[in-house]
Chain A
Amino acid sequence: MKFIVQRQQLISSVQDVMKAISSRTAIPILTGMKIEANANGIILTGSDSDITIESFIPAEEDGMINVEQIEEGSVVLQARYFPDIVRKLPDNTVEIESDENFNITIKSGKAQFNLNGQDANEYPHLPNLQAENSFDIQSDLLKDLIKQTGFAVSAMETRPILTGVNITIENETLHFTATDSHRLASRRVPLEGVTSDSSNIVVPGKSLNELNKILDDTGEKVEISVMNNQILFRTKYLHFLSRLLDGNYPETSRLIPDQSQTVLHVRTKELINTIDRASLLAKEERNNVVKLTTKDNQLLQITSNSPEVGQVAEEISVQSLEGENLKISFSSKYMLDALKVIENDEVIIKFTGAMRPFVIQPADDDAILQLILPVRTY
């Protein structure tokens, strides 16, 4: 294998790929980075077996030559040293060459590195692309979807399936759902022109977080393909693969109440600030409990009480308040998490009694839904 590449291009590609490589891996080959050269350009691959990132540098793009003198081949080199080497090389171009014994030579200007590589055949084989089960989505929308649901995944390993986000496609609708069994976040997006059948998968929340970091929100297209045991997010030069969680996601649609006894319209910002203030005295070991009480004259009272510290009470006016009066306690942390991801000035909160879960939705959009279970207090 041999090629000469522009150093800047290589640096940014290596940086992307390094996000997937961890120093503690289950199998030794994954401490390395795979470099593959073919006539179209070069592909860098990094993986920690949970996620895999591939970065592609095209040989030619918009008349600019990025990679030249390509001789096809592939090799795995040690990821511990490669990024620093590339970053500190003197010249604007880098020549990388490997021989049949996997000795790698990196040349730039007058500097020359000889590194020991490994056989690329030892590297895990990535699943072949199946085009039929794929669809396109805007990257900023995808980031929103991740942001609005990813926070609600469970951090506990006791029910591993809940550490993932459930992604379903049905009736031309893409549905993200995450729950840790105390709260639930979900969002629907219409999909157009999806020919594939319904699919139902669970993607680890950690992988989606990584994806969120690596995607930029320029609104470019991301192609999502679901394969047998992996999911692929593909942008023009970046492939992001994640393994899936094995198992059946619990049926969540039954949890969402379809009627309500008390409905609130409230300004998001004000509610966030009020609950944030009340939560200052709420204790973490008591689930950060704050209490919401409806008053007459379209007023709400938010209170929090820690016997050993003190108490706080604040009134907040609402846009409208319909239905029965209510006293309910809930975790301020869950409430703030849910409100913060709703990017709308007004929210609707629907209650069905003090012991039943309640639903938070943006005032003009029912595609986003946040569900929180109340806390029993005495």
Chain B
Amino acid sequence: MKTWSELTEIQPLASRIMTNSIQKDRISHAYLLQGERGTGKEAVALLLAKTLFCSNRSGVEPCQECNACKRIDSGNYPDLHWIEPDGQSIKKEQIEHLQKEFTYSGMETDQKVYVVKGADTLTPNASNRILKFLEEPSKQTTAILMTENSSSIIPTIRSRCQIIDLKPLHPQAFQEQLIHQGISRRSAVLLSTLTNNLDEAVSWSEDEWFAQARKLMIQLVETFSTNAHDAYLFIHQQWLPHFKERPQQEQGLDLLLLAFKDILYYHIGRKDAMTVFAKDDAAIENLVLFFSQEKLLDILNKLLDAKRKLKQNVHPTLVMEQLTIQIQG
């Protein structure tokens, strides 16, 4: 996605909005790009920055050749500022740096562009500091905020940005891409539900850890149905040692969520939509017999609860223990 025309194929609407405003020279002072992982938020931000800084662009397309374009790609353009979450959230110092930059003149040009990645991780304090700038933009300054979770952006910020919605990628098209990369259809289906990013999906499919994680997930679901009392032990002996880091724990819950969703799909006869289990898997019939529909709905709710708790920094061991007991009961 290096040009606006390439972007049009994936995000027709967003691309239209942006190119039109460039052509009519009506670029907004702030954009809020919202869309899931891999929908091209960063590509849009980079393209917009290049369009603004490129010294010999043709029409709306930046040249990709000039010094400014190259330095934007390598992250060395002095008037383009990237703010990324440092760990869990965007820290106060980062916003202070940004505020300082707001008050200085540009280094090479009068144009300044600020990109805030993961704008949902701004603490309320930090968002309010940014507000000040969004309210009184200095001339020739463009802010680009990116988020996967648009609902956690405070309304005062939303109302001051032009919101660009990036459509989720078409899962079938993505699966085809993955199969094209030499990934088996079953893995492709599973991976496409977990990520929209092609590179990430390919690296996962080759990752020993991910294969093991998937195996553990199926084992855990089966343990619940055959030997519920062992589940607690299983969590401690197998699950927790494998899912160590926070992103891994979240992924583990995602996998469980998919598995239970599959069982529910089997119940209601939507066998085509299943992602983890194959249609004719013997295992799933046992599981369907064991879990009732009401029970499954309850489990899904509990899983979503557990995900939320992880996000709120509840200790992961406790989250998993509670979840196990809830599913057992």
Q: Which residues of A contact B (CB under 8 A)?
A: 26-30, 49-50, 121-125, 127, 157, 160-161, 163, 204, 228-230, 243-247
Q: Judging by beta carbons under 8 Å apart, are A49 and B78 in contact?
A: yes
Q: Contacts A121-B67, A122-B71 hold; do A160 and B103 have CB atoms under 8 A apart?
A: yes
Cross-interface CB contact of B108 among A125, A244, A247, cutoff 8 Å: A125
Is A157 a contact partner of B67 (Cβ separation < 8 A)? no
Task: Specify which of B96, B99, B102, B104 lies most central, judged by the most chain A CB atoms within 10 Å of its CB.
Answer: B104
Contact B104 A243 (CB under 8 A): yes
- Shortest distance between the CB of B107 and any CB in chain A (Å): 6
List B57-113 residues whose CB lies under 8 Å from chain A.
67, 70-71, 74-78, 81, 96-97, 99-108, 110
By the criterion CB–CB under 8 Å, are B105 and A230 in contact?
yes
A160:B100 contact, CB within 8 angstroms: yes
Interface string of B253-266 (1 = CB under 8 A from A): 00000000000000
A191→B262 CA distance, assembly (Å)? 82
Q: Is B138 an interface position by the 8 A CB rule?
A: yes
Closest to B141 in A: A246
Nearest-CB residue, chain B, relative to A227:
B105
19 A-B pairs besides A29-B76, A161-B103, A246-B103 with CB distance below 8 A are A28-B75, A121-B67, A121-B71, A122-B76, A123-B76, A124-B76, A124-B78, A124-B107, A124-B108, A125-B108, A127-B108, A160-B99, A160-B102, A163-B103, A204-B104, A228-B105, A244-B104, A245-B105, A246-B138
B100 contacts across to A, CB distance below 8 A: 157, 160
- Say whether, besides A26-B78, A27-B76, A243 and B96 are in contact (CB < 8 Å): no
Alpha-carbon separation in the docked complex, A163 to B96 (Å) = 14
- Whether A246 touches B67, Cβ cut-off 8 Å, given contacts A27-B76, A157-B96, A157-B99, is no
Query: Closest residue of chain A to B138, judged by CB?
Result: A246
The docked-state distance in angstroms from the alpha carbon of A30 to that of B74 is 13
A49 CB contacts on chain B under 8 angstroms: 78, 107
Question: How many residues of chain B are within 8 Å of chain A by beta carbon?
Answer: 23
Are the C-beta atoms of A246 and B99 separated by less than 8 Å? no
For residue B248, give the distance in angstroms from its CB to the closest CB of chain A. 29
Chain B nearest CB from A48 CB (Å) reads 11
B46 to chain A, nearest CB (A): 15
Query: Pick the contact of A246 from B75, B76, B78, B105 — CB < 8 Å?
Result: B105
B97:A229 contact, CB within 8 angstroms: no
A245–B106 alpha-carbon span in the complex (Å): 9
Q: Which residues of chain B are near A125, meaning CB under 8 Å?
A: 67, 108
Contact B105 A229 (CB under 8 A): yes
Q: Are B70 and A121 in contact (CB under 8 A)?
A: yes
Contacts of A160 in B (CB 8 A): 99-100, 102-103
Contact A27 B99 (CB under 8 A): no
Which of A157, A161, A163, A228 is the one whose CB lies under 8 Å from B110?
A: A228
Which residues does chain A contribute within 8 Å of B74, judged by CB atoms? 29, 122
* A58–B76 CA distance with the chains assembled, in angstroms: 29
Q: Which residues of A contact B102 (CB under 8 A)?
A: 160, 246
CA distance A6 to B181 in the complex (A): 58
How far is B77's CA from A121's CA once the two chains are assembled, in angstroms? 11
Known: A49-B78, A121-B67. A26 touches B104 (CB 8 A): no
Which of A26, A30, A161, A229 sits near B81, CB closer than 8 Å? A26
Question: Across the interface, do A26 and B97 meet the contact criterion of CB distance under 8 Å?
Answer: yes
Bound together, the chains give a CA A342 to CA B242 distance in angstroms of 70
Chain B residues within 8 Å of A28, by CB: 75-76
Complex Cα–Cα for A163 and B103 (A): 10
| Contact (Cβ within 8 A) B105 A243 | yes
Q: Is there an interface contact between A244 and B70, defined as CB atoms closer than 8 Å?
A: no
CA gap between A160 and B108 in the complex, in Å? 21
Contact residues in B for A243 (Cβ distance below 8 Å): 104-107
